Structure 1
Amino acid sequence: MNELGERIRKLREQCGLSKAELARRVGVSDVTISYWENGTIKRVGHSRLEPLARALRCSIAYLLGNARDMSGASHAMLLSLPLYPLTTSPETIGVNAVPISHFPMGFIDNALIKKDDYLLTPQHPGHFDFCPQGTLMLARNCSHFDGNGLYLVERNARLMVKRLEQDFDMILDIFGETDSHHPEERTHVDKIVFHAFIPAIWPMKVMAF
């Protein structure tokens, strides 16, 4: 019986991830995900266990079938959002990023949360418009512009949070907090690498528990 593969499949479906998306987050091919799930490959390499557990929002112990963990910590992780530190380096949100904690969903309006959302909190050094240190950002992975709002984007190998608005000519106006009435500049969508949409921001002290 392929218990590990079945666990991976069920968790992937609970998280609303396709095989291709899970593969991207773990750093393997979608064929490898299929082999894990159907038992062709019966063991997950050590270097892949942590990113796989992180993507599936469970502990490594749960993933490997630790019965004591299955009803305890791992279940709590499935009912929480991972919280990642954010710096201006793109590496901080890559597949090797490690959460600093898991935030219980009960402290956030569930109407705001979609599957696979996560939290970011800005770290020193680094300055981000609209969300200084001491704030929590709800983040939702995206690879393209999907309506006006706040986005975590990459430009010149540096992460930044900007408010983006698009006109009828497919030109983006980029706004910073220093002057929210006038765009800092205008650019075509292919000039920016999109990492996440930011649907909500809270002061950390308001969310303390």
Structure 2
Amino acid sequence: MVDLGSHIKALRMKANLSKAALARRVGVSDVTISYWESGTIKQIGHERLVALAEALDCNLSDLLQGTPSTQMPPGVLPLRALQPPPWMTTNGQLVPSLIGLPSAGLTEGCHLVTPAPGERFDFLTEGDLAAIRPLDTVDDDGLYLLECDDALQVRHISRNAQGKLRIRDERSELDNVLISALPFRVLAHVRVHWRPFARVE
């Protein structure tokens, strides 16, 4: 961790944050940020490292090893299994949704997301792109972003003949439940899913 301070500074500058702004996000003083960046304080606890990674919107490996994340195209949000939905900022405010694309039905309230480098979800792998609309219930059959056991997951949900929800991952059916007894929290509906050189709806 010899270069940790320089990694913090580079990622802070890339995120266009002042020391004071980063300090507020992490819950420390701006003097502490200065000490971390200069190397005056060389040891940082795990909890603070996780808070730094979240505040700088990067993986721990980006922070510790200085390996830059793949540059996200403008307007595309990185999806990570162990972080909140990417359209929510660290202060709880919503990131503006897509505007100005030809299909209002697709873009109204939707965000473009892609798995962050090294992340993989059922039905959605690194390099895929999805237009995703935040909601808290199942409205149509299709792919949904869910929160289960403090982690984000993508599952296919459809209604069966008995009116129950059929939940499955890429390999098998997981459950048939009533909508009132869902074992997870619904976060968003995947409206359109693109794979490189292919499109899946």
* Structure with the higher fraction of residues in helix conformation: 1
TM-score by length of 2: 0.50
